[in-house]
């Protein structure tokens, strides 16, 4: 079973993603902010994918991605931004930092999210 880390501060959106992915057979570990997400990554290096919001308390998604890319034991885990921020500069910054993909929450259907997850796992 593939294991996904979900860094998302919206309880509603996190719950919807967790339920959807769990019904597809994925194990989903939720972190309510970027700092907690990094702690969970460092506790267990066995994640197959990271879905991460950009705008979160304590540590934003860019900070999470930067920290992951600087850690050799974590840098190969595919990272996807799942966010409400849709400006071009944020997309470019995420890509430059090493994000594999960038999905805008308002455009994401759960079927599309499942397709995206399957693409990287």
Q: What is the pTM of this model?
A: 0.92
Domain map (residue ranges) of the chain? 1-6+47-84+96-121
Give the side-chain half-sphere CA count within 13 A for 89. Answer: 0
Give residue 110's pLDDT band: very low, low, confident or very high (50, 70, 90).
Answer: confident
The pLDDT of residue 86: 72
Q: Is the pLDDT confidence value at 91 over 70?
A: yes
Q: Is the pLDDT confidence value at 7 over 90?
A: yes
Q: Does domain 1-6+47-84+96-121 have CATH number 3.40.50.2300?
A: yes
- Higher-scoring residue by pLDDT: 55, 104: 55
Candidates 51, 62, 60, 121; CA nearest to 91 is 62
């Amino acid at each position: 079973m593939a294991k996904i880390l979900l860094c998302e501060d919206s309880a509603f959106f996190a719950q919807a993603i967790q339920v959807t992915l769990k019904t597809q057979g994925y194990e989903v570990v939720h972190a309510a902010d970027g700092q907690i997400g990094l702690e969970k990554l460092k506790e267990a290096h066995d994640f197959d994918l990271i879905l991460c919001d950009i705008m979160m308390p304590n540590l934003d998604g860019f900070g999470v991605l930067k920290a992951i890319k600087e850690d050799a034991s974590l840098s190969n885990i595919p990272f996807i931004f799942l966010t409400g921020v849709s400006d071009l500069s944020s997309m470019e910054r995420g890509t430059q930092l090493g994000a594999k993909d960038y999905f805008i929450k308002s455009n994401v259907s759960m079927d599309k999210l499942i397709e995206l997850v399957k693409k990287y796992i």
